[in-house]
Amino acid sequence: MPVVLHALGDPVRLELVRRMAADGECACSPEGLDVPRSTLSNHWRILREAGLTDTRADGKARIMSLRRGPVEAEFPGLLAAVLGDGEGRAGA
Amino acid sequence: MPVVLHALGDPVRLELVRRMAADGECACSPEGLDVPRSTLSNHWRILREAGLTDTRADGKARIMSLRRGPVEAEFPGLLAAVLGDGEGRAGA
């Protein structure tokens, strides 16, 4: 639990999670985030190591998605509360 | 949101929050936590600055309680999900 909360406890990482939740997936360097690529890579690493993301390759690019199902199973209601959408279970 | 998640994203701080939730209040240096007092003070500071605790004085001691109501109002369902008790609203 603290590992996941720490992973979510950063404004950039929270935004990445919100984008994955809203769009289904998120590219490594999404539009509109004024953050250096190396810093973004570090954020993605923290999310990945906390078990929050899956990664697929699209050519040279990496596309991340939120592991809603496993996270919801392990921490019921957490994503819904964090995303503030009351629909944390959608697509789980 | 990320500030509160960061505050909760530490095993010691999460335990302090669990104790306040379970017992209603928690003393500055609770039993059974093998953590130096200075470290505990820092953890309490982080929880306090995140808006998670109220503090009352009991002589020279400080007694902390969880600000369930305000936290629940601002982040519905978050405490319940973090505490894993499904009763995050009790006493709010």
Q: Residue B77's domain spans which residues?
A: 2-83
Nearest to B14 by CA among A85, B87, B36, B22: B22
Mutation for testing the B interface, residue in A3, A4, A5 having most B CBs under 10 Å: A5
Residue A91 lies in a domain: no
Q: DSSP H helical segments within chain B, as ranges? A: 2-8, 11-23, 37-49, 68-74, 78-83
Q: What is the pTM of this model?
A: 0.84
Q: For residue B4, is pLDDT > 90?
A: yes
| Residues A82 and A7: beta-carbon distance below 8 Å | no
Q: What is the CATH number of the domain that holds A47?
A: 1.10.10.10
Q: What is the pLDDT of residues A38-92, one digit of tens each?
A: 999 999 999 999 999 999 999 999 999 999 999 999 999 999 999 986 444 443 3
Tokens at A1, concatenated: 């639990």
| Residues A88 and A72: beta-carbon distance below 8 Å | yes
Is some CB atom of chain B closer than 8 A to the CB atom of A3?
A: yes
DSSP A1: -
Q: What is the pLDDT of residues A30-46, one digit of tens each?
A: 888 889 999 999 999 99
Chain B residues 25-54 with a CB less than 8 Å from chain A: none
Q: How far is CA A66 from CA A44, B24, B49, in A?
A: 11, 35, 30
Is some CB atom of chain B closer than 8 A to the CB atom of A76?
A: yes
Residue B19 lies in a domain: yes
- Domain count within chain B: 1
Is some CB atom of chain A closer than 8 A to the CB atom of B76?
A: yes
Residues composing chain A: 92
Residue B92 lies in a domain: no
The residue of chain A nearest to residue B3, with distances taken between CA atoms, is A9
| Residues A17 and A10: beta-carbon distance below 8 Å | no
Residue A45 lies in a domain: yes
| Mean predicted lDDT score pLDDT of chain A | 89
Nearest to A41 by CA among B38, B24, A33, A77: A33
Q: What is the pLDDT of residues B73-90, one digit of tens each?
A: 999 999 999 998 644 443
Residue B90 lies in a domain: no
* Cβ pairs A/B, distance under 8 A: 64
| Residues A33 and B29: beta-carbon distance below 8 Å | no
Percentage with pLDDT > 70 across chain B: 91
Residues composing chain B: 92
Residue B54 lies in a domain: yes
